Amino acid sequence: MGLGLGLYLGWEAWPTQFTDATPEILQDSYRRDYALMIATNYAADGDLASAERRVNGLGEGGTADGRSYYFSVTLDAILRNDDQSAITRLVRLAADLGLESPAFTPYLAGGADAITP
């Protein structure tokens, strides 16, 4: 009886409702996927302002944290030798956001074709 009452109260009477949730609350693996989705969307539409807003939402403290998180995701993808086209999209957005690293150079020079596995 108590279990039934608990289920009723939890699902029907007072269900949990999330509002204004941001990507910063996601588990790290999902935040990384979201960062790649931002880069992929930017590669498709070229809307830097929209991509910048989304990147800023990745961090817990605003703009600087979001950019630093995106930067670390990009470098981790390079170090793990992930899919070359995904790395190229991540690097292209990072560069357009003003983030710099010597590790980005091969991916900016000629795209994924310039990289040897």
Range of the domain at 30: 22-114
Q: Does residue 101 lie in a domain region?
A: yes
Counted domains in the chain: 1
Q: What is the pLDDT of residues 53-65, one digit of tens each?
A: 999 988 776 556 8
Distances from the Cα of 15 to the Cα of 10, 23, 25, 59, 92, angstroms: 5, 22, 19, 28, 42
Q: Does residue 74 lie in a domain region?
A: yes
Q: What is the pLDDT of residues 17-27, one digit of tens each?
A: 766 677 877 88
Q: What is the pLDDT of residues 66-106, one digit of tens each?
A: 899 999 999 999 999 999 999 999 999 999 999 999 999 99
Q: Does residue 75 lie in a domain region?
A: yes
Q: What is the pTM of this model?
A: 0.75
Q: Which tokens go with 43? A: 């590669």
